[in-house]
Structure 1
Amino acid sequence: MNDLEVRRLPGLTPYAEAWDLQRDLARRRKRDEVSDTFILCEHPPVYTVGRAAKDGSNLGAGEEYLRSLGAEVFWSDRGGDATFHGPGQIVGYPIIRLKDRDTHGYLRRLEDLLIGVLAEYGLQGWHHPEYTGVWVGEKKIAAIGVKFSSGWIASHGFALNVNTDLSWFDRITPCGIKEFGVTSLARELDRDVPLSEVEERVVPHFLDRFG
């Protein structure tokens, strides 16, 4: 199967539900039962911790405190460290087979597609030579954390801050990086930006690089 399906999940999708969907699609993609799939969704408040975290030190005051704020906490099988997902953020989960088996190049293409989206809003995004993700100025606007499973199947993906309440990031050390803050499209443009509008710009950039 070589076609690519774009699947938008309605409303706020619980992280566990999206994670289960990814695992199911990754297993089926390995067996060529489904085509490559690009999931777009928005989560209720949730902190996730990736495989790069050696402990919970980047979760600030700890899991119990974060849950008391109304957020879930998950230790995920993706790459990267601690980050936040929540309303006002576009999360993209490509479940695709890497035909070229170039994992490094895959991460750069994810960054490039987000930099392309930011350019449509007059923002100059860039990727840091030491860290995965996308920055505007000295602040990170998009986090990337992926998993590569047998059969060269990629899962997990990126989170782009659009109208995200950035105060959620104050409770953790995002991606384990202390020297950079976080930002959003809304903050950089000084206005709210409809998520549906940004999604419509994300999809063609994704298809240009992966379709």
Structure 2
Amino acid sequence: MTASAFDILDLGTLPYPEAWALQKRHHERVAGGGRPTLLLVEHPAVLTLGRKAREGDNIVVTRAYLAAQDIEVFEVERGGDVTYHGPGQLVAYAIFPVGRRVRDFLRLLEQSVVTALDTLGLPDARPNPGYAGVYVQGREVGGLPRHQKLASIGVAVKRHVALHGIGMNVTTNLDHFDLIVPCGLTDTQMTSVAREYELRGLPRTATMPEAKAALAGAFTTTFDTYDWTLPDLTAAGG
């Protein structure tokens, strides 16, 4: 699939290490002036530790337990804390030129998810100032107010080009988030498109093909006027 200024590759289901290596290959190509690419993928269950989570303090079970569940743990170069990827979660890796516009790029990633979720029938999806990611209306859990986070966002920028990106829960097994303190946030509960449909009594079924189409379309719209210029690496401070 090709958008106006970038390619969209659907990788299906791919083990995390293979997708990580593929990201790096595309990153090298884009950093060398190649066409930007959005990778859409699902992963088998895995935990990743961002730069704020090197000790893994927000994993609340033992590594032996994770190993018994065939859940691997990887330290990666993105920002943020610990997060979970697994079946039913749509992961989008935007290998796009960013330069020094990292905050603006993060806001565009969030807007892409907000637009996709609106298409999927969740019009209250929104960013949450001070937190990276996309949320829906909060609710009480056990008598306490909890933010409801539907998509996590974390990126790395090397040679002015982004790696990593978005994890959007579609039909994700949310019980797996009990293995961690998601993104290190104790006031937050993870949710999904499927769960929101159920809790709201919406007569819809969450499907990965529909979610992929919605997110791909949202990226095309959100990045329609994006500046795709790759900064000159030979310039001072490049």
1:97 aligns with 2:81: no
SS of equivalent to 2:131: coil
Structure index of larger Rg: 2
Q: 1:171 aligns with which of 179, 192, 196?
A: 179
Which whole-Å CA distance do the structure 2 matches of 1:148 and 1:210 have between them?
A: 18
Q: What is the CA–CA distance in structure 1 between the aligned matches of 2:54 and 2:73, rounded to whole Å?
A: 16
Q: State the TM-score, normalizing by the size of structure 1.
A: 0.93
In 2, Cα distance between equivalents of 1:78 and 1:168? 21
Q: CA deviation at 1:62?
A: 3.1
> 1:5 aligns to what?
7
Unaligned segments of structure 2, at least 5 residues: 138-146, 199-203, 225-238
4+ residue segments displaced more than 6 Å:
none
Q: CA RMSD in A?
A: 1.4
CA displacement at 1:210 relative to structure 2 = 2.3
1:119-158 alignment runs, 5 A limit: 119-123=118-122, 124-137=124-137, 138-150=147-159, 152-158=160-166
* 1:194 is the counterpart of 2:212: no
TM-score (norm 2): 0.83
Equivalences, count = 206
User: 1:74: which partner in 2?
Assistant: 74
2:217 alignment partner in structure 1: 204
Q: What amino acid is the match of 2:117?
A: L
Q: Distance in 2 between matches of 1:189 and 1:162?
A: 10
Percentage identity across aligned positions? 38
SS at match of 1:116: helix
2:106 alignment counterpart: 107
Q: Tell me the distance in 1 between the aligned counterparts of 2:130 and 2:167.
A: 19
CA distance in 2, matches of 1:172, 1:14: 20
Contact 2:59 2:181 in 1 (8 A): yes
Measured after TM superposition, the shift of residue 54 of structure 1 is: 4.5
Q: In structure 2, what is the Cα distance between the partners aligned to 1:72 and 1:26? A: 24
Amino acid at match of 2:23: Q
Tell me, in whole angstroms, the C-alpha distance in 2 between the residues paired with 1:52 and 1:184. Answer: 24
